[in-house]
Structure 1
Amino acid sequence: MPVYEYQALDAKGKTITGIIDADGAQTARQKIRTMGSFPVTVKEVTEGKSSKESRSTSFQGLFSRVTPAQVSLWTRQLATLTGAGFPLVTALTTLVSQTKIQGFTKMVARIKDSIVEGNSFASSLTLYPSVFSQIYINMVRAGETSGTLEIVLQRLADIMEKQQELKSRIQTAMAYPILMTVIGTLVLFFLMTFVVPNITGIFTEMNQVLPTPTRFLIAASDAFKSYWWLLVILAAAALVALKMFRKTERGLAATDRLMLSLPIMGPLLQKIAVARFSRTLASLLENGVTMLPALEIVKNITGNVVISALIESASNEVEKGQGLGLSLAADAVFPDLAVQMVQVGEQSGELESMLYKIADVYENEVQSSIMSMMAMLEPVMILVMAVVVLFIVLSICLPIFEMNQLVG
């Protein structure tokens, strides 16, 4: 079904814009009138556009990308409408008219058209694999099969909101240290390239033997002033090389294993992966997905190939008849507490609820760890900057003290 962009006047004479699907332009105008608005322009959104229009759309696409937060909000709204008794197509039609983001509006309209044509909701979501993950699609498919789509949508919204909340807290906690690092780097760059050379130039003209710290500062300042561009190039090359290395299977495994072995960051990444694994697996099992397909899905969401390999190995053991807890205990990657709680859940027949508890426990630990790290990081950064500045000041003052002694 074609999709039309329109500009109309509402009951108060205010200009409104939007997108609507209809069999033709005349039908689209009638739909707009039934909404209580007077259509001014109605233009079909076609795939074939002029090169200029395509470039404009591509440029706008940079700023209209569908974000996980928008998908989470849309899922919550859809769950509310379907839970209130709205048929799925009606609920999607309502959301098409309410969604303000152009790219997202077109996407929802296409999904609704696909459902009207006879496809399932899950199959329609596969039209946008970059927006809807495999977990999202599989849970929707399970909800459609079991007739509990509104419950599945509510749980999906809960999962996405918790992930967004955790991500937001991490970003908020990291904002101040990153800002301090940037400011400190700029201050150090200014000192080493402008302030220090002007001051130390006086010492070099006196042809006197300078203290070791001063000589080191002058050499470092000269090198930094002459070759700072080389440092930037080397840093950029290192980042590109690391990115290329991580694109290889061996490189990705090596770097992920290294990240898990880091003193502070390793346990934090481990807890994040375990919490994500537990909550997603619990939701899949609770919505009718059997254990083996659920493990196949969740192994790709941990964000670490080492942990993904462990889950895949555990899946093979479960397929042979072994319990999930024992399978996860085969490697020390999963914490003992998580393994024990999984075993208790299997023995009591309440694995889903126990997995939810594991997710809650480790999400809380992640938040506490991040807050503790940030509380420690701030004074450490201030101390490092103070030591650097103190070294610069002492390196400049030592020759002055020696000259005063000679004069005295």
Structure 2
Amino acid sequence: MALFQYRGRNQRGEAVSGRIEAASTDAVADQLFNSGVIPIDILPTDISRDVVGGLRALTFRLTENRVGLDDLIFFCRQMHTLLKAGVPILQALRGLRETTRNPALARVIGRIGESLDAGFDLTTAIGRHPDVFPPLFGSMVQVGETTGGLPESFQQLGRYLEREKETRDRVRQAVRYPVIVLCAIAAALFIINIFVIPAFANVYAGFRAELPAITRMLVAISDVFARHWHWMLAGAAALAVALRVHLKTPEGRYRWDRIKLRLPIVGSIFRYAALARFSRSLSIALRAGVPLVQAFTVVSRSVGNDFIGQRVLQMRDGIERGETITRTAIATSMFPALVLQMLSVGEETGAVDGLLGEVADYYDREVDYALKGLSAALEPILLVAVGIMVLILALGVFLPMWDLAKAARG
């Protein structure tokens, strides 16, 4: 008997892990299936295998994590077309592996085919790559395998990913201009403090004149930059790394996602985008036949915001207690009255999935309106910030010149 470490998902779609003593990996898989857990990874716990597993996970993160939304959209479209035409799954995967231009996606498709050859179903094979496929992917594929509607599942996933890509592209396009302006301001401040102000300070020092307060302040700041700029860059880099590590922890990610929703101007965009993602994911899951509780579990990991994801899990817990979707939505305080009314009508008419799609379209429109107003709101702020910076620099640099000119005329 040996000790094995496993990772998998239970019937509610939640990630589970642990250790089991058994004779082989097949025996572990049988025990997990009998207990209602779909295994993702089963590895012996001896040191050598742990090292191999760690290296394999590291390699996976460095390669397969580069599969983007465009690649997943291509995968879904091609799988829908091939399966609808009656091509067997293994043959379809081999064809996709040969035609895709992304080596990382080709490796993932090859490993999915290897898992199918080993006797696993498509849901388990896809679940072995959680860093590539979003949580909704596995649930939709599982429903498609159960009902015999895999082509339709891939078609719905392709449409969902297309809408997700459109939303991300709109957000990136809207914030590109402010980010470029802020980077230009930071670069200008660095160059001015390192090269420009010290040159003027040397000129003023030769006249032995009393400098204005604003000039002395600029010279002092420039002196700090000139003497300690390398330490400041090192500190900024260390701070960025520390923040990045902290944001990868559940607590840090939860706090940052909560702060994002409260940011002025852009907070509403993050909120609307997350709620649109929630509504569309839940609509697709329910339309595909995913059980309600499992759908909420999966959607909580698909909204892209841990704070809202926790509220979705609260809704799931309320539904398990027998409450309605509308009642649990009211308790979260996330939805406006119009959306709550639509959810209530959907529950009364039995068309929750359809009205959730309408809710997603509503939030998509809100995202569009907010993005259109983002540039109009940020441009005056940026112009005022640049104007204040130029005014301070101009007064600090040229006031002593004016005083020296007056003294020379006198």
With the shorter chain as reference, the TM-score category is 0.7 to 0.9
The AA in structure 1 aligned to 2:189 is L
Taking the aligned partners of 1:165 and 1:393, their CA distance within structure 2 comes to: 44
1:165 aligned residue: 166
1:307 aligned residue: 308
Q: 1:107 to 1:300 in 2, by over 3 A?
A: closer
Is the contact made by 1:302 and 1:308 (CA closer than 8 Å) also made in structure 2?
yes
Give the count of matched residue pairs.
Answer: 354
**How far apart are residue 64 of structure 1 and its match?**
8.9
2:386 maps to 1:388: no
Taking the aligned partners of 2:245 and 2:400, their CA distance within structure 1 comes to: 48
**How far apart are residue 67 of structure 1 and its match?**
2.2
Taking the aligned partners of 2:265 and 2:400, their CA distance within structure 1 comes to: 42
Is the contact made by 1:192 and 1:224 (CA closer than 8 Å) also made in structure 2?
yes
Write the deviation string for residues 9-55 of structure 1: whole angstroms up to 9, x where unpaired: xxxxxxxxxxxxxxxxxxxxxxxxxxxxxxxxxxxxxxxxxxxxx9x
Greater Cα offset, 369-378 or 147-156: 369-378
**How far apart are residue 270 of structure 1 and its match?**
1.3
Q: 1:234 to 1:369 in 2, by over 3 A?
A: same
Is the contact made by 1:125 and 1:137 (CA closer than 8 Å) also made in structure 2?
yes
Q: Percent identity?
A: 31
Q: 1:264 to 1:378 in 2, by over 3 A?
A: closer
What's the Cα RMSD here? 2.7
The AA in structure 2 aligned to 1:126 is G
Secondary structure, counterpart of 2:66 in structure 1: coil
Secondary structure, counterpart of 2:332 in structure 1: coil
Q: 1:307 to 1:387 in 2, by over 3 A?
A: same
Is the contact made by 2:64 and 2:108 (CA closer than 8 Å) also made in structure 1?
no
The AA in structure 2 aligned to 1:133 is P
1:368 aligned residue: 369
Instruction: Specify the structure having the higher radius of gyration (Cα).
Output: 1
Secondary structure, counterpart of 1:340 in structure 2: helix
The AA in structure 1 aligned to 2:175 is M
Greater Cα offset, 90-99 or 190-199: 90-99
**How far apart are residue 259 of structure 1 and its match?**
2.4
The AA in structure 2 aligned to 1:145 is T
2:66 aligned residue: 65
2:141 aligned residue: 140
Write the deviation string for residues 202-240 of structure 1: whole angstroms up to 9, x where unpaired: 222222222222111111211222222333233233334
**How far apart are residue 278 of structure 1 and its match?**
0.6
Taking the aligned partners of 2:109 and 2:344, their CA distance within structure 1 comes to: 42
**How far apart are residue 139 of structure 1 and its match?**
0.6
After superposition, residues 205-220 of structure 1 pair within 5 angstroms as 205-220=206-221
**How far apart are residue 162 of structure 1 and its match?**
1.1
Write the deviation string for residues 116-137 of structure 1: whole angstroms up to 9, x where unpaired: 4543221221232221233101
Secondary structure, counterpart of 1:264 in structure 2: coil
The AA in structure 2 aligned to 1:325 is T
**How far apart are residue 114 of structure 1 and its match?**
3.4
Q: 1:258 to 1:128 in 2, by over 3 A?
A: closer
Q: 1:178 to 1:135 in 2, by over 3 A?
A: same
Q: 1:186 to 1:371 in 2, by over 3 A?
A: same
1:397 aligned residue: 398
Taking the aligned partners of 2:300 and 2:127, their CA distance within structure 1 comes to: 20
Q: 1:89 to 1:377 in 2, by over 3 A?
A: same
**How far apart are residue 281 of structure 1 and its match?**
0.6
Q: 1:88 to 1:253 in 2, by over 3 A?
A: closer
Could you state the TM-score of these two structures normalised by the residue count of structure 2? Answer: 0.79
Greater Cα offset, 263-272 or 246-255: 246-255
Write the deviation string for residues 129-170 of structure 1: whole angstroms up to 9, x where unpaired: 221233101110101111111111000001111111211222
**How far apart are residue 85 of structure 1 and its match?**
3.2
Taking the aligned partners of 2:93 and 2:243, their CA distance within structure 1 comes to: 43
Secondary structure, counterpart of 1:313 in structure 2: helix
The AA in structure 2 aligned to 1:189 is F
The AA in structure 1 aligned to 2:243 is L
Taking the aligned partners of 1:251 and 1:95, their CA distance within structure 2 comes to: 38
2:190 aligned residue: 189
Q: 1:319 to 1:263 in 2, by over 3 A?
A: same
Write the deviation string for residues 234-284 of structure 1: whole angstroms up to 9, x where unpaired: 323333443444455544443333322222232222111111111111111
Is the contact made by 2:64 and 2:132 (CA closer than 8 Å) also made in structure 1?
no
Greater Cα offset, 378-387 or 157-166: 378-387
After superposition, residues 1-400 of structure 1 pair within 5 angstroms as 65-247=66-248, 249-400=250-401
1:45 aligned residue: none
Is the contact made by 1:192 and 1:221 (CA closer than 8 Å) also made in structure 2?
yes
Q: 1:168 to 1:327 in 2, by over 3 A?
A: same
Could you state the TM-score of these two structures normalised by the residue count of structure 1? Answer: 0.79
Is the contact made by 1:260 and 1:266 (CA closer than 8 Å) also made in structure 2?
yes
Is the contact made by 1:64 and 1:102 (CA closer than 8 Å) also made in structure 2?
no
The AA in structure 2 aligned to 1:279 is R
Is the contact made by 1:270 and 1:334 (CA closer than 8 Å) also made in structure 2?
no
Q: 1:343 to 1:96 in 2, by over 3 A?
A: same
Taking the aligned partners of 2:354 and 2:114, their CA distance within structure 1 comes to: 37
Taking the aligned partners of 2:226 and 2:259, their CA distance within structure 1 comes to: 34
Greater Cα offset, 327-336 or 351-360: 327-336
**How far apart are residue 394 of structure 1 and its match?**
1.9
Is the contact made by 1:122 and 1:141 (CA closer than 8 Å) also made in structure 2?
yes
Q: 1:251 to 1:287 in 2, by over 3 A?
A: same
Secondary structure, counterpart of 2:302 in structure 1: coil
Q: 1:182 to 1:63 in 2, by over 3 A?
A: farther
Q: 1:329 to 1:381 in 2, by over 3 A?
A: same
Is the contact made by 1:256 and 1:305 (CA closer than 8 Å) also made in structure 2?
yes
Gap regions ≥5 residues in structure 2: 1-54
Greater Cα offset, 262-271 or 131-140: 262-271
**How far apart are residue 113 of structure 1 and its match?**
4.0
